[in-house]
Amino acid sequence: MLTIKSQEKREEVTTPVSSRLGVVTLEPTPELSVGIPARPVEVEYALYGDLNLPVTVVLGGISASCQVMKSGQDNAHSRATYTQGWWQPLVGPGKAVDCTRTCVLSFNYVAQHRVKTSVSEVRELSLTPADQAKLLNVLLKTLKLNGRITFVGSSYGGMVGLSFAELYPEAIKQLICISASDRSTHTARAIRAIQKGIFELADLPEQKHQALSLARQLAILFYRTDDVFDAQFIDPLLELPQGKVVGYEQTVYSYLAHQGQKFANSNTIETYAALLDSIDTHAVNASKIECDCSFIAVPSDRLVSYESMRKLAHKVNGQSQFYRLESIYGHDAFLKEFQKLTELLKKILGEYDEPATSYASC
């Protein structure tokens, strides 16, 4: 088992890292796969560390923000409210993605944009993962971040990373893809179809709020595993004839209701549906990916097939490594297994020389 040196832990606290948060208009405006943008594309981004260092792009799932770590300062032009970073345990001085060795870039996904679909027609359409990759390519140029990047993408971010590697092989030197494959499974597509079906039943604002909550609850059921739920909650009992659940607050029902309402309070059906559509469009030609690749797959992941990622590791043209990450957290492993990921990412990024025998399977 690989270990983190105590000196590295001290650096997390004592080493300051500059941060830059803001909104930028992309120039030139990229042509997207869904059409030509009818207005300039604005992207909210976060930069951490010395801009002269090699760039590492870090992207997460569809609900992740551009803030991967806690910022030292806020930009007055930023629209976001910045709190704790969603990958705080993994990004920072001395951490798996070390901001004293690399400049970290992240951005908020653009779910929809008004595009020209013909000479006279303008429509609001969902962007694909390949479109997000095109935005990233122009963002790098707009921010004058030169040189080949390292890309660390989890879930939807992994899809964007695969698309970027296919579209811009000259711009990327290394891809680390966590819980993402070259295309979706039929089960994952079916779950998203059910979610969008729930949206279609909602007309009134309160119905839309509840529909968004229910759709998110359905997703969470497949993010986690039965082992997690069994350890966390009690078995529900019904009090008849009223049908009231005894000990409701200790059941999975209460947890899902809380998570669904929290998500619905800060998101819209339109944005969520657009991102679900985006995932459904995802497909890459792995043979066009030529950079060094590391694939991290979780056997218990019920949304992204472990076997599909193993096959993907053999399809790419670049040098490829495949890692098995055991976890009871399924698709949420990249948000929970911070110690394992720290050890694994440090090995992949070259900070450990020891072989990761606990993870590598081919």
* Residue 164 and residue 207 in one domain: no
The domain in which residue 16 lies consists of 6-183+283-348
What are residue 230's phi and psi, to 5 degrees? -65, -35
* Residue 121 and residue 233 in one domain: no
Instruction: Compute the 3-state secondary structure of the chain and give helix, strand, coil in percent, each to the nearest 5.
Output: 40, 20, 40
Average pLDDT of span 51-57: 96
Any idea which of 1-5, 59-63, 243-247, 341-345 has the lowest mean pLDDT? 1-5
Beta-carbon-side half-sphere exposure of residue 271 (alpha carbons within 13 Å) = 13
- Directed axis angle between helix 129-142 and helix 156-167, to 10°? 70
Q: 278, 294, 317 — which closes off a domain?
A: 278
Kindly state whether residue 357 falls inside one of the protein's structural domains: no
Q: State the pLDDT at residue 96.
A: 97
Average pLDDT of span 246-271: 94
Kindly state whether residue 356 falls inside one of the protein's structural domains: no
**Tens digit of pLDDT for each residue in 124-177?**
999 999 999 999 999 999 999 999 999 999 999 999 999 999 999 999 999 999
Kindly state whether residue 360 falls inside one of the protein's structural domains: no
Average pLDDT of span 64-90: 72
Q: State the pLDDT at residue 223.
A: 94
Cα of first residue to Cα of last residue in the chain, in angstroms, is: 18
Kindly state whether residue 1 falls inside one of the protein's structural domains: no
* Residue 130 and residue 160 in one domain: yes
Average pLDDT of span 261-290: 96
Catalytic residue among 98, 131, 292, 301: 301
* Residue 243 and residue 173 in one domain: no
* Residue 19 and residue 168 in one domain: yes
Kindly state whether residue 361 falls inside one of the protein's structural domains: no
* Residue 241 and residue 303 in one domain: no
% residues pLDDT > 90 (the chain): 79
Counted residue by residue, the chain has a size of 362
240 pLDDT band, cuts 50/70/90, is confident
* Residue 171 and residue 240 in one domain: no
Catalytic residue among 78, 131, 320, 331: 331
Q: 278, 300, 332 — which closes off a domain?
A: 278
Look up 19 and say whether it is catalytic: no
* Residue 195 and residue 295 in one domain: no
The strand ranges marked E within 5-99 are: 19-25, 36-37, 42-48, 55-59
Tell me the CATH number at 330: 3.40.50.1820
Task: Please check whether residue 56 is in contact with residue 99, taking contact to mean a CB–CB distance below 8 angstroms.
Answer: no
Any idea which of 43-57, 60-74, 157-171 has the lowest mean pLDDT? 60-74
Q: State the pLDDT at residue 17.
A: 79
Q: State the pLDDT at residue 34.
A: 86
* Residue 236 and residue 112 in one domain: no
Residue 354 CB neighbours (<10 A): 10
116 pLDDT band, cuts 50/70/90, is confident
Kindly state whether residue 362 falls inside one of the protein's structural domains: no
Kindly state whether residue 291 falls inside one of the protein's structural domains: yes
Task: Please check whether residue 271 is in contact with residue 110, taking contact to mean a CB–CB distance below 8 angstroms.
Answer: no
* Residue 37 and residue 101 in one domain: yes
Tell me the CATH number at 261: 1.10.1740.110
Q: State the pLDDT at residue 361.
A: 38
Task: Please check whether residue 201 is in contact with residue 209, taking contact to mean a CB–CB distance below 8 angstroms.
Answer: no
Task: Please check whether residue 322 is in contact with residue 352, taking contact to mean a CB–CB distance below 8 angstroms.
Answer: no
Look up 226 and say whether it is catalytic: no
Look up 182 and say whether it is catalytic: no
Kindly state whether residue 121 falls inside one of the protein's structural domains: yes
**CA gap 293, 341 in Å, rounded:** 16
Catalytic residue among 154, 155, 181, 213: 155
* Residue 344 and residue 211 in one domain: no
User: Which residue carries 């993605």 as its tokens?
Assistant: 97
Query: At 341, is the secondary structure helix, strand, or coil?
Result: helix
* Residue 18 and residue 143 in one domain: yes
Q: State the pLDDT at residue 74.
A: 45
Structure tokens at 94: 């001395």
**One-letter amino acid of 127:** L
For the chain, what is the domain count? 2
Q: State the pLDDT at residue 167.
A: 98
Q: State the pLDDT at residue 120.
A: 75
User: Which residue carries 């609001």 as its tokens?
Assistant: 124
Q: State the pLDDT at residue 83.
A: 58
Q: 228, 261, 278 — which closes off a domain?
A: 278
Average pLDDT of span 64-74: 79
